[in-house]
Amino acid sequence: MITPRIEIDLEKIAHNAKALIELYGSKGIGVIGVTKAVRGNPRIAGTLVKSGITTLADSRIENIKRMRGAGVQAQFLLSRAPALSQIEAVVKYADISLNTELSVIESLSAQAIESDKIHKIILMLELGDLREGLMPSDLDNVVAQVIKMEGVSLAGIGTNLACFGGVIPDDEKMGRLSAMAIDIENKYGIELEYVSGGNSANYNWYTSTLDVGRINNLRLGESLYLGCETVSRKPIPGLHTDAMTLVAEVLESKLKPSLPYGTIAQDAFGHIPEFVDQGEIRRAILGIGLQDVQVSGLTPRANIEIIGASSDHLIINASDLDLVVGDELEFDLNYAALLSAMSSRFVNKVSSDRVNAHEYCEKVEHNYRKHMQLLPGISIKDDHTPLLNLNKSGFNLMFEPSSQKDYQFMVREAVFEKIGRISKQLDLEDKTLWLRSAWRSFDHQRLLWQERVAQLQQDYPNKELQEIEDLVSHFIAPPNKSMHATGGAVDALIYDLKHNAIMRFGTNDGFKITLNDKCYPYHPYITPEAKNNRKLLIRLFEVEGFVVDLKEYWHFDYGNISWAMHKGKDHAIYGMLEA
């Protein structure tokens, strides 16, 4: 699967949203879901809405436009003061905005009148954090002018704390906001829809206060995604803190000194680096860097030490781990790291939108065990059709280099014809079928088995042979049990002629495939691009009557006992062909 990536557990986010709605709702406080840290991700936004959050807030109008375009059904709040240069877009895409400047509100009024809309205004008050906000002494004058304007409606007042100055929301601050809300309502005979007390930092105030006053709304982001309050970053009881996982891949793993040697000057970012002498260490480099994420906000889940980072590399001390190239490591993120990684186009975003990955893999394993138990009971009535050579077919195909000398891509006659039709279909899309393997002799299969065993013994020198063979059997069949020996099995990917590359399917780098559970065809933790590419590949073969393997998205069967099992046939038409 492509790295680096953020794996997003939508079920955990949904749990957090429902728990927070219930928690704050017990004292009459509603929740707005803030999507800026996840860059308006439509799947996350949709999850929040399905969980009961009806208003979503984002600081970027581009993110609100993205969510609207994806069909997210919610009321949208622009949570950053509108720029005069974006007034038209604000009125078009946002239902509400936070405001502090009369000139901006006047422009919103004019645009809303022109657009035949009513745009809601929440006036933000400065209560000490010194980010945005009217001074309290100016509130009365601004309210008096706003309520006279056409095209806009005063929906509420609010404040923001603990974001810039680190000022804590407490009874004094919330009491002051409540008092101002009551004064406005009494003086002008209006009822404010929103008295918005702040954000995820308000948790400690909320749980300790005896009276929330007129505070009836909070704008929550970090507690939804990371499960913590933001004054001390302590987990909120009952919430998931691991809904977001950053995954990075090992690019290099070597024994090296812990101290750089030579004359030391500035690093790439103008700092003079300092290091602790730990002697020789297992120094690994991961494929992620400061261009992708705020590294200081990462916490590794494995027993490793982050030494430092450059633009494109994260350097770690992995002396307690037997890391090899291609291994993946997981990290928790704080808010700053989440914000930067979700904003980076170099970090893939993968969401579990249907089913938890662990549950899916367990289901696949269960079905596979059942499948293997029942296979011997399938009878075979071989039709004795010959093997034909796809290398000489004249079809528009590409062939992966094989470790077997002079390997020929041989398949049964019916499979040969089906591959031809698939090839013609791909011609229409400027793509080509990339064939990885077809018929294999028992000797060829035995060679593959032995090569994989040898490789894993080298990668994991401390594992017993039986452990190694168990790992190998997870993806490679024993020599006399491979469906490839029937001539009815084909391994294939798709080559995109426009981009001059093999398409991305989630675990491949070109034709090199990393074998892990994300090879299971419908694994939820792969990118949308990989899902679409797998969908195309599988559909091409299924239309021709093939079945995709339970564990390998690139493996397709026709006519053999695995095919008969999937299709509910009473017999297979292809048996083993040893030579």
- The residues annotated as belonging to the active site are 36
Would you call 452 helix, strand, or coil by DSSP?
helix
CA 399 – CA 165 distance, rounded (Å): 61
Rounded distance, CA 226 to CA 12, Å? 10
DSSP per-residue string spanning 405-426: TT---EEEHHHHHHHHHHHHHH
Residues shown for the chain: 579
- Cα–Cα distance for residue pair 466/472, rounded to 1 Å: 10
Q: How far apart are the first and last CA of the chain?
A: 36
**Of the candidates 421, 450, 451, the residue with the CA atom closest to the CA atom of residue 433:** 421
User: Please, which residues have CB within 8 angstroms of residue 489's CB and are 6 or more apart in sequence?
Assistant: 437, 438, 439, 482, 483, 555, 556, 557, 558, 560, 562
CA atoms 258, 259, 261, 267: torsion sign: positive
311, 395, 412, 420 from 392: Cα distances, Å = 48, 8, 14, 12
- Can you list the pairs that 458-465 forms with residues at least 24 positions away whose Cβ atoms lie under 8 Å? 459/324, 460/322, 462/322
Please identify which residue in the block is written with the tokens 């004359």. Answer: 263
Helices and strands, counts by H and E, the chain: 16, 28
Amino acid (1-letter code) at residue 84: L
CA 445 vs CA 285, 439, 455, 479, 480: distances in Å: 35, 10, 16, 5, 8
